[in-house]
């Protein structure tokens, strides 16, 4: 079976912040764009929060103004291959780490979203003895990840099920997590 891929989002050259997610899925395959669908909308929401606090690092609230890549450019989703994440050997394959290095070379800030993205960037940086790059980790921005892992807002108040502002409150927590790593 042919391996389906979706390549990186170039972003604007003047923005020195890059995002790394896990892998393209069904929505990305259909559109040809990374971080499509609800995860992309959540990224835009988080960027609007971060832009207010760190406009030099996050000058835009539009995800497509940034370099976006994945721990693997191979498409995975349940109906295709019964997976939603790449395997570790796919992530750590030398040719994949070289691709990731090419995608991220020259960026000052790299934010990884999820375990696969963090593993890929850690391996890539270690293999290339790269220093001077600020890397930050965030949970994945899917509804499943946000809803299952963030139960309280930035003030420690519970986010009740069905709260109309629940997603925004969870994105504030994710943005604070990134802000805390910048200090």
Domain coordinates in residue numbering, the chain: 17-182
CATH of domain 17-182: 3.40.470.10
Mean pLDDT of 144-155: 94
Provide the 3-class DSSP secondary structure of residue 21: strand
**pLDDT at residue 122, as a whole number:** 94
Mean pLDDT of 98-106: 95
Edge to edge, the sheet with strand 17-21 lists 67-70, 17-21, 109-113, 134-138
pLDDT by residue (tens digit) across 15-24?
999 999 999 9
The pTM assigned to this predicted structure is: 0.94
Task: Kindly give, in sequence order, each residue whose CB lies less than 8 Å from that of residue 84, ignoring residues fewer than 6 positions away.
Answer: 22, 25, 76, 77, 78
**CB-based burial of residue 23 (10 Å sphere; 0-12 exposed, 13-18 middle, 19+ buried)?**
buried
pLDDT(136) > 60: yes
Strands (DSSP E) along the chain, which ranges? 17-21, 67-70, 109-113, 134-138
């Amino acid at each position: 079976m042919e391996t389906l891929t979706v390549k990186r989002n170039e972003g604007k050259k003047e923005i020195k912040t890059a995002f790394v997610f896990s892998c393209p899925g069904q929505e990305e395959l259909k559109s040809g764009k990374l971080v499509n669908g609800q995860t992309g909308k959540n990224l835009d929401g988080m960027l609007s929060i971060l832009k207010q606090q760190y406009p030099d690092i996050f000058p835009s609230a539009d995800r497509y103004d940034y370099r976006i890549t994945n721990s693997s450019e191979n498409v995975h989703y349940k109906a295709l291959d019964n997976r939603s994440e790449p395997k570790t050997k796919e992530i750590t394959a030398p040719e994949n780490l070289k691709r990731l290095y090419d995608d991220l070379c020259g960026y000052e800030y790299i934010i990884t979203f999820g375990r696969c993205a963090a593993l890929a960037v850690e391996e890539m940086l270690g293999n290339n003895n790269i220093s001077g790059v600020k890397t930050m980790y965030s949970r994945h921005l899917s509804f499943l990840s946000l809803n299952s892992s963030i139960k309280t807002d930035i003030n420690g108040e519970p986010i009740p099920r069905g709260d109309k502002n629940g997603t925004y409150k969870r994105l504030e927590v994710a943005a604070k997590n990134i802000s805390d790593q910048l200090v």
